[in-house]
Amino acid sequence: MANSPFLASVREYMLVRNYSIRTIDNYLYWIKYFILFSGKQHPSKLGSAEVERFLTHLAVNRGVSASTQKVALNAVVFLKTKYLGEKLEGLANFRKSSRQPKLPVVLTHDEVKLLLQQLEGMHYLMAALMYGSGLRRLELVRLRVKDVDFDYRQIRVFDGKGGKHRLVTLASSLLPLLKQQITRVELLLQEDLLNPHFAGVHMPNALGRKHPQACKHVLWQYLFPASKLGVDPRCGAIRRHHYDESTVNRLVKSAARNAGINKPVTSHTLRHSFATHLLERGSDIRTVQVQLGHSDVRTTEIYTHVLQRGGQGVVSPLD
C-alpha cells in the first residue's frame, strides 16, 4: 500500500482542511494498519464490529498504551465519519488498554548540568529551554520569534498538547542567547527574501489570509528554523520549516551518553526534570500543573511520587 491511491486521497482530504502534518501522518499510519488488519478490505465494508476487533487487537496483542489506542480510534472514526461520511455506532465492546503509563525518568541537578555542558550554540539553547521552561520538544520547535516575551521573561506556547495555550517561565540566563538566536533568524530571513520563489513561513489557521504579508515578517518566523528551504506539502510552496523534532531527541540522547548518564534519557526527560525540580524547590502542584499545561492535576501528581523515597515515603528496613 506504499502508493495507495486511497490513502493519497485521504491525505489530500486532510491537507485541504488544514489538518497538521503530524496529525495527517499519525492518522494515515493507523488507517493503513486498520485496512491491513482487516484483510485489505475497503473501509466502507467494515463496520463497528471490525473496528472493535482492531482496537482489541491493539490492546491485547500489541500491548499499546491507552493514549495510543485512543489515537488509533480517532483515526478510524475520522476515516468512517468524516472522509467516508458514514455512521459508526457502538464501539463499546472492545478491550481497553490496561498498560500503565511509565514513571518518569528524572535527572538530578548535576546530571542536567553535565548534559547541557555537552551542547553548545543553538543546540544548548534548545535543551536549556526544554529544561528551564518545561517545554515539550514539539512545542519547542514550533516556537516563533514573537512568542518570546523578554520584558516579562516568559514564553507564550500556542496550540500545545490538546490545542491549549499557556505561558511558561523563561530563565533570565537565556535572554542573551535568545537575542543571538533571533539575530540569526533575521539573517536567514534576509537571505530567503532574495529568493523569488520564497513564499514565507507557514501561517497558522486563517492568519495567512488575514495578514498576507506577515509570513515574511521576522516576528512570525520559527525561532529554530530548518537549515534549508523546503517544499510545503500542503500547497507546494517554498518555505523554511522549523527544526526537525526527531533531531532534537537525538541531540539530547547523544549529550546524555557523552555525559556518562546511565539513564534512558530523551528530550522529554528534561521536561520531567523541570517539573520535579520545581516541586523540590517548594512550588505548589497547581503552579507546576499550569506550567506543564496539564488539564488534570492527577497527571502532574506523578512527579510527587518521584520525590518520595521508596513506596510513598516508606523508609526501607535495611536503612
- Give the rounded percent of residues in the chain with a pLDDT score beyond 70: 96
Selected catalytic residue, list 136, 142, 239, 242: 136
Looking at the DSSP assignment, which residues form a beta bridge with residue 222? 144
Contact between 55 and 69 under an 8 Å Cβ cutoff? The reply is yes
Binned at pLDDT 50, 70 and 90, residue 318 comes out as low
Q: Is domain 109-304 annotated with CATH 1.10.443.10? A: yes
Q: Which residue has the cell 547541557?
A: 116
Answer yes or no: 271 catalytic: yes
pLDDT in tens, 127-170: 999 999 999 999 999 999 999 999 999 999 998 887 889 999 99
**What's the rounded Cα separation, in Å, for the pair 53 and 196?**
53
Selected catalytic residue, list 142, 144, 271, 272: 271
- Give the rounded percent of residues in the chain with a pLDDT score beyond 90: 73
Selected catalytic residue, list 62, 161, 263, 305: 161
pLDDT in tens, 27-36: 999 999 999 9
Residues 255, 268, 204, 234, CA torsion sign: positive
Binned at pLDDT 50, 70 and 90, residue 200 comes out as very high
Answer yes or no: 165 catalytic: no
The domain segmentation of the chain, as residue ranges, is 5-83, 109-304
Answer yes or no: 294 catalytic: yes
Per-residue pLDDT, 269:
96
Mean pLDDT rounded to a whole number for the chain: 91
pLDDT in tens, 93-137: 899 988 777 788 999 999 999 999 999 999 999 999 999 999 999
Binned at pLDDT 50, 70 and 90, residue 312 comes out as low
Selected catalytic residue, list 137, 144, 242, 294: 294
Answer yes or no: 303 catalytic: yes
Domains 5-83 and 109-304 share a fold: no
Selected catalytic residue, list 131, 222, 243, 303: 303
Per-residue pLDDT, 91:
85
Answer yes or no: 281 catalytic: no
CATH architecture of 5-83: Orthogonal Bundle (1.10)
Per-residue pLDDT, 274:
95
- Give the CA angle between residues 222, 227, 230 to the nearest 5°: 80
- Mean pLDDT of all residues in 176-193: 97
Residues 204, 208, 209, 214, CA torsion sign: positive
Answer yes or no: 222 catalytic: no
pLDDT of 309 > 70? The answer is no
Amino acid identity of residue 93, one-letter, is: N
- Mean pLDDT of all residues in 13-37: 92
Which has the minimum average pLDDT: 4-18, 185-199, 212-226?
A: 4-18
- Give the CA angle between residues 135, 140, 143 to the nearest 5°: 125
In this predicted model, which residue has the larger pLDDT, 140 or 89?
140
In this predicted model, which residue has the larger pLDDT, 103 or 280?
280
Selected catalytic residue, list 156, 234, 253, 268: 268
Per-residue pLDDT, 233:
84
And the C-alpha cell for 32? 493503513
